[in-house]
């Protein structure tokens, strides 16, 4: 099967490690989006892993029509994509009393609206092919609306994203499309690999830092072609972290 993936926000952060991981799994083509961080390092890593790669600038905080046009242009130029890993998700950690309306727009549009627009642009081709894999990103506790101080809007956006993903999973399951969510824990260093993470202590039950490879493993599991019976799931990659105090 000639697999083609779109990984959003992959110029940096955890997604910069996920995209080459998909290349190592045999995806023939991987497109990434970026906003301001240069994408060259990620493109080089994808190509070194054996896939053809391309990058397109998409600012998910632009007007909805502009974002939709950019995504549809990307699909037309480099699709169709059978796999989408939507990793865009700006975070603002601040008590609600100090939040601004601009920060509200950044967090809600950047996390929830961006997922909706990405799904709208990529699902038609998946439906036509009768196959698709979509992975969104939440935060620990999103599926239970677990509260954390300072995360009022971010937690709300991520819980809304989980509700969207699970409902979408029900609607698309009969078309061979799965929709799942990965919820990473407190991974401070997004470029940390597992070997170095094993040497670094962290305040979670496992006792070591998380790595992009830990998250990549969950994504790889969910997007595998044979994984058609897992949909609407939320996989927490947290080292056992359950609350902000652990």
DSSP class of 54:
E
pTM above 0.85, yes or no: yes
Domain range for residue 168? 4-237
Does residue 244 lie within any of the structural domains? Answer: no
Give the chain's domain count.
Answer: 1
Does residue 193 lie within any of the structural domains? Answer: yes
Residue in 149, 166, 127, 6 with CA at minimum distance from that of residue 70: 6
CATH number (domain holding residue 35) = 3.40.50.720
Q: Which of 34, 104, 154, 212 is catalytic?
A: 154
Structure tokens at 206: 């496992």
Residue 37 pLDDT exceeds 90: yes
Does residue 246 lie within any of the structural domains? Answer: no
| Whether 193 contacts 211, CB under 8 Å | yes
Residue 114 pLDDT exceeds 70: yes
Confidence class for position 246, pLDDT limits 50, 70, 90: very low
pLDDT (average), residues 143-155: 91
Cα(239)–Cα(7) distance, rounded to whole angstroms? Answer: 24
Does residue 12 lie within any of the structural domains? Answer: yes
Residue 154 catalytic? yes
Cα(231)–Cα(174) distance, rounded to whole angstroms? Answer: 11
Residue 245 pLDDT exceeds 50: no
Does residue 245 lie within any of the structural domains? Answer: no
Q: Comparing 68 with 188, which gets the higher pLDDT?
A: 68
């Amino acid at each position: 099967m000639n697999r083609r993936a779109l990984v959003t926000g992959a110029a940096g952060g955890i997604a910069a490690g996920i995209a080459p991981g998909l290349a190592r799994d045999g995806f023939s083509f991987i497109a990434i989006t970026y906003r301001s961080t240069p994408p060259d390092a990620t493109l080089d890593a994808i190509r070194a892993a054996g896939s053809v790669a391309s990058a397109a600038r998409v600012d998910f905080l632009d007007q909805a029509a502009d974002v939709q046009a950019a995504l549809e242009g990307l699909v037309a130029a480099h699709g169709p994509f059978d796999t989408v890993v939507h990793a865009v998700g700006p975070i603002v950690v601040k008590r609600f009393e100090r939040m601004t309306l601009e920060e509200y727009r950044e967090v809600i549009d950047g996390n929830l609206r961006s997922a909706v627009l990405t799904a709208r642009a990529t699902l038609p081709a998946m439906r036509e092919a009768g196959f698709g894999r979509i992975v969104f990103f939440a935060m620990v506790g999103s599926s239970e609306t677990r509260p954390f101080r300072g995360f009022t809007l971010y937690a709300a956006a991520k819980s809304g994203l989980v509700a969207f993903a699970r409902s979408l999973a029900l609607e698309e399951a009969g078309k061979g499309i799965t929709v799942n969510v990965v919820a990473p824990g407190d991974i401070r260093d997004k470029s940390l690999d597992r070997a170095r993470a094993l040497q670094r202590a962290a305040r979670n039950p496992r006792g070591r830092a998380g790595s992009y490879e830990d998250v990549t493993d969950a994504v790889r599991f969910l997007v595998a072609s044979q994984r058609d019976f897992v949909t609407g799931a939320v996989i927490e990659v947290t080292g056992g972290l359950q609350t902000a105090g652990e």
